[in-house]
Structure 1
Amino acid sequence: MFDIEYLILIFRDEFNYFMMKKVVKLLPLQHRNKDCVAIQFDFNDSIKAAVMKVGAKWSKTHTCFYILNETKLKQRLFLSLKKLNCFVDYSAMPKVDQVKKSVNKEASLPKSHAHALQVFEDYLIGQRKSPSTVHTYRNFLNLFLNYYAKRDLASIDLRSIEIFLEQVMAKRGYSVSSHRQCISALKHFSELNLGMKYDPANLYMPRKDKKLPVVLSSTEIVLILRSTKNLKHRAILGLLYSSGLRIGELLKLKLGDVDLERNTIYVKQSKGRKDRNCSLGQRIRPMLLNYAQTYQPKVFLFEGEEEGKPYNATSIRQFLKRSCQAAGIQKHVTPHTLRHSYATHLLENGVDVRYIQELLGHSRPETTMIYTHVTERKIDEITNPLDSAIQKFNRMDNETPNPLLSRNENK
């Protein structure tokens, strides 16, 4: 039989062992309309590195790291933290049954609303909208119908829609772009005449944000590629820049889409269901050949861990971020930044904007014209008014001595 002092020693050792562990708390999180897991911990470099390694991102809005609420990601996170002797507190996470209920919000819709949602989806498919557009519009309408789940569709008027936009889209911090997409979805929904009383022409569409794209210099592009040690990663970034591809276009590329003899890449059914040919730089050819010989892809040009399946977009964003950090680049860089840089550098090199429009696959020249606002070649041609003023003053000063702008006078 144990005496009391021995039990106290055992308890103290167990308590000290627990206190030595770093506590990481997992919490349910809704972020950008997605089911996520928040990762909270006292700042620790090792833990930070571990959570970033499994693909966690930082949210400024919620001031925490987060991952998508996927079983595979949670398992990888749990194993990584266990290696660091961390205590993972997941008591706040809902049970599996609760997750299923929260994910399937459509199950709580009344029959009339659920029927309207299905009719709307069928309508979008019949209009031959892209799968991405169908998914986006359906999600916004589902959000709207859930907000008014306890009301008949016939009782929803224009003011009801305005209240939804005020209380949900605006107050929950949706971007202007998402706000506009939601209104577009509601305008399409009005075409079905399912009882709602409103004129879609009266819905106010907020103006688009007019933001200039982030552009890297040629030197920064080279620094990023040099800082990317993995051959596969370097080939991906090099191809994104040298051909001006969208990330979705790159992920869909198959081996037969690359023509090394003609130095072209055949992009099939891209944005707007358009096919186009992209140029392939001379310097990227040996890199691609080296990559293909080393990794030996079977179907897609860039495949993920599972053979015959395309690479993951999230992984590209993650290793691009690491490469930028290693290169000492402070700009906010995404895969699309490489496309912006490609177009801007072509313009700076004197390529006609009409050819750039074709290479990028833009439907309207106005879309391509944005790059004329960021090109260094055009900006350098503009003389700064202060420079002109000082040059003029210096010319006058040479003729008639006078106190100069940059000169101190002794009194």
Structure 2
Amino acid sequence: MKPNTIATQLLKTEETKPDYALAMSLMHQKLLLKNYSKNTTKTYMHMFKQFLTYMYPMPLHQVSTAHIMYYHKELVTKQNVSASYQNQSINAIKFYIEKVLNLPKVQYDFCRPRKAKKLPKVLSLQEVADIITVTNNIKHKTILKMIYGCGLRISECVNLKVEDIDSNNMRVWVRNAKGNKDRITLLSPTMLAQLRAYYIVYKPKKWLFEGADGKQYSASSIRQVFNRSKKKARVHMPATVHTLRHSFATHLLDAGTNLRYIQKLLGHNSSKTTEIYTHVSTTNLINITSPLDMLPK
């Protein structure tokens, strides 16, 4: 069972395969009705379309759990996709089965891949300071400070509005974050002073960080800013913009902040997600005595 090379084009025309086009339309409509984020909607639609491309031209009512399992086996064995990619694909197909077709979950109990348990990369305080220091543009500097100083995801940063900065109560409102949840994170005096200096120069109207056209500043532009500054600061450790969020959490933990507070600031549902930072906290390591040092002299 091999993917048809022209299937992607065929999926775009209702005349060639009405049930495929209808499936895509119903999938998109349900994602919108359930208010899934733009990123999740885009990912699910892409993954579902890839699956339909693979199944073409089999009628959808003939697709079984065995076909779905075989498709994901092919993804791993022939395309060598990551566990994350495979899980996203499974989630997209399960969404269609359970939310669009309203079929019971118990009938589609897929075997999910095991995720690699990798520790997050974390920058030192000095490395963060160096990256911010070499960023000369005030907007770029404010963005990097905001992501690090508030523990934001890149999508949360670009979605910030001017009204989300609550200077009276020294807090930042993060709206419609991952899982469509709102949360509050801290606004430090240093960050507030930076924001005021930035506002004087740029005077944003709606979005806190606006592009040249007044729309939201793009995530890709922020990545470019970070990569340029990281290179300029001669920080050689592999790191992305998201590393600033990991560093925020780890540095708070190093400073003695309660893990429960860090969980709330990051917006994690489970404390187990936040506990991963205990594995990269330097303070915890420093306070542990090696049994080698306990041996009789």
Q: Which bracket does the TM-score occupy, shorter chain normalised?
A: 0.7 to 0.9
Give the distance between the partners of 1:194 and 1:284, measured in 2 at CA: 47
Unpaired runs of at least 5, structure 1? 1-100, 396-411
Larger CA Rg, structure 1 vs 2 = 1
- Answering whether residue 55 of structure 2 is matched by residue 132 of structure 1, we say no
Q: Is the 8 A contact 2:10 2:17 kept in 1?
A: no
Q: Is the 8 A contact 1:153 1:194 kept in 2?
A: no
Show the 5 A alignment for 1:280-319. 280-307=187-214, 309-319=215-225
Q: Kindly tell me: are residues 224 and 385 of structure 1, through their superposed partners in 2, closer, same or farther at Cα, counting changes over 3 Å?
A: same
What is the TM-score of this pair, normalised by structure 2?
A: 0.88
Unpaired runs of at least 5, structure 2? 1-5
Q: Which residue of 1 aligns with 2:155?
A: 248
Give the distance between the partners of 2:211 and 2:9, measured in 1 at CA: 29
- Structure showing greater relative contact order (alpha-carbon pairs closer than 8 Å, 6 or more residues apart): 2
- Answering whether residue 283 of structure 2 is matched by residue 377 of structure 1, we say yes
SS at match of 1:107: coil
Q: Is the 8 A contact 2:7 2:53 kept in 1?
A: no
Q: Which of 122, 129, 140 is the aligned partner of 1:215?
A: 122
Q: Tell me the matched-pair count.
A: 287
Show the 5 A alignment for 1:356-371. 356-371=262-277
- Answering whether residue 231 of structure 2 is matched by residue 325 of structure 1, we say yes
Deviation of 1:324 after TM superposition, in Å, equals 0.9
Q: Kindly tell me: are residues 255 and 194 of structure 1, through their superposed partners in 2, closer, same or farther at Cα, counting changes over 3 Å?
A: closer
Give the distance between the partners of 2:129 and 2:102, measured in 1 at CA: 56
Q: CA RMSD in A?
A: 2.4
Among the aligned pairs, what percent are the same residue? 37
Residue deviations 1:96-138 (CA, integer Å, cap 9, x gap) = xxxxx99755225611222222223333344443343232222
Residue deviations 1:170-202 (CA, integer Å, cap 9, x gap) = 53243211201111222233335599xx9311x
Give the distance between the partners of 2:148 and 2:230, measured in 1 at CA: 14
Give the distance between the partners of 1:128 and 1:189, measured in 2 at CA: 15
Give the distance between the partners of 1:175 and 1:105, measured in 2 at CA: 28
Letter in 2 for 1:316: I
Give the distance between the partners of 1:128 and 1:295, measured in 2 at CA: 32
Give the distance between the partners of 1:256 and 1:134, measured in 2 at CA: 26
Give the distance between the partners of 2:168 and 2:128, measured in 1 at CA: 26
Q: Kindly tell me: are residues 123 and 257 of structure 1, through their superposed partners in 2, closer, same or farther at Cα, counting changes over 3 Å?
A: closer
What is the TM-score of this pair, normalised by structure 1?
A: 0.65
Q: Kindly tell me: are residues 102 and 283 of structure 1, through their superposed partners in 2, closer, same or farther at Cα, counting changes over 3 Å?
A: farther
Give the distance between the partners of 2:140 and 2:115, measured in 1 at CA: 34
- Answering whether residue 30 of structure 2 is matched by residue 106 of structure 1, we say no
Give the distance between the partners of 2:20 and 2:92, measured in 1 at CA: 15
Letter in 2 for 1:185: A
Deviation of 1:148 after TM superposition, in Å, equals 1.4
Show the 5 A alignment for 1:188-227. 188-191=95-98, 192-193=100-101, 199-201=107-109, 203-227=110-134
